[in-house]
């Protein structure tokens, strides 16, 4: 069962998410000496990343910054998730470059996915099945996609690889994405969703019963982790229980 927080607007959504990430980071580092965070792409998280960039005091040397998905473009391309995160946060001088682990969108998607799995295997050497991020950030597409797991796309069926390439028919592009087994191994998942165009997908995620193939967010069923949805008022408009 997911927790739901409805915030008045995108700025207050980003403030609440920033406080959540800071608290998660401090707790993980106090307990285990490191914090593993999977960043989401898209446009919604930019404000959150800019707010996190206002916290140089955080022990960034103990924070491993990974990505949930990437477009098949180089990091300097306007559509690059790593490029967006770099401009907003990871390019900050107080963040060690060796703590930022981007998916190499400039490679072929299958090569980038294979390379990313090796990167994760080095970051999570003790993983006896799938790596468990301390905190996974996810956005939500208006069609219910998460990361680059789109409706009726091949990667929805991946149960062994940690990362894979995925052909997205509706966009006519290939993507690189973490797979459900990795996403569902996260200790904590935080959704950031803003805008009236997401209201249907939020209602499907929290109150619907559609098949995962049709609404991929319904495939987020953490093995043992917690899920929190932070949504703004317009994105909550179709929820029955608010």
Q: Residues in the site for ligand 6PG, rule: CB under 6 A?
A: 40-44, 68-69, 81, 139-141, 145-148
Nearer Cβ to ligand 6PG (109/139):
139
CB of 5 to ligand 6PG, least distance (A): 17
Three-class secondary structure of residue 54 per DSSP: coil
| Nearest-approach distance from CB 40 to ligand 6PG, in angstroms | 5
Give one DSSP letter per residue of 4-31, joined into a string.
EEEESSHHHHHHHHHHHHHHHHHHHHHH
In the three-class reduction of DSSP (H, G, I as helix; E, B as strand; rest coil), residue 68 is classed as coil
Q: Which residue is nearest to ligand 6PG (CB)?
A: 139
Comparison of 41 and 83: residue with beta carbon closer to ligand 6PG? 41
Taking the complex as a whole, the smallest distance from the CB of residue 68 to ligand 6PG amounts, in Å, to: 6
Q: State the DSSP code for 42.
A: S
The CB-of-57 to ligand 6PG minimum distance in angstroms stands at: 27
Smallest separation, CB 124 to ligand 6PG (Å): 21
- What is residue 138's three-state secondary structure? strand
Q: DSSP per residue over 176-235, as a string? A: EEE-HHHHTT-SEEEEEE-SGGGHHHHHHHHH----TTT-GGGG---SS-EEEEEEETGG
Q: Report the nearest approach of ligand 6PG to the CB of residue 224 (Å).
A: 23
Q: Which is nearer to ligand 6PG, 44 or 90 (CB)?
A: 44
Burial bucket for residue 169 (CB in 10 Å: 0-12, 13-18, 19+):
exposed
* Pick 36 or 40: Cβ nearer ligand 6PG: 40
What are the angstrom distances between the C-alpha of 208 and each of 127, 150, 225, 240?
33, 17, 20, 11
Q: Which is nearer to ligand 6PG, 41 or 58 (CB)?
A: 41
Which is nearer to ligand 6PG, 58 or 66 (by Cβ)? 66
């Amino acid at each position: 069962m997911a927790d739901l927080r409805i915030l008045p607007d995108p700025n207050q959504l980003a403030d609440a998410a920033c406080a959540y990430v800071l608290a998660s980071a401090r707790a993980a580092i106090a307990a285990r000496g490191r914090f593993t965070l999977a960043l989401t792409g898209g446009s919604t998280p930019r404000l959150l990343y800019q707010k996190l960039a206002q916290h140089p005091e955080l022990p960034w040397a103990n924070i491993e910054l990974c990505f949930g998905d990437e477009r098949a473009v180089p990091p300097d391309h306007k559509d690059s998730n790593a490029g967006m995160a770099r401009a907003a946060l990871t390019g900050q001088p107080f963040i060690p470059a060796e703590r930022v682990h981007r998916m190499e969108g400039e490679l072929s998607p299958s090569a980038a996915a294979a390379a990313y799995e090796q990167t994760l295997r080095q970051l999570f050497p003790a993983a006896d099945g799938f790596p468990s991020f301390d905190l996974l950030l996810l956005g939500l597409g208006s069609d219910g996609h998460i990361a680059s797991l789109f409706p009726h796309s091949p990667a929805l069926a991946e149960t062994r690889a940690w990362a894979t390439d995925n052909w997205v028919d509706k966009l006519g592009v290939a993507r690189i994405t973490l797979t459900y087994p990795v996403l569902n191994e996260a200790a904590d998942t935080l959704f950031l969703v803003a805008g009236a165009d997401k209201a249907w997908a939020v209602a499907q995620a929290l109150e619907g019963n559609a098949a995962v193939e049709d609404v991929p967010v319904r495939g987020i069923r953490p093995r043992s982790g917690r899920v929190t949805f932070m949504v703004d008022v317009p994105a909550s408009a179709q929820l029955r229980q608010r």
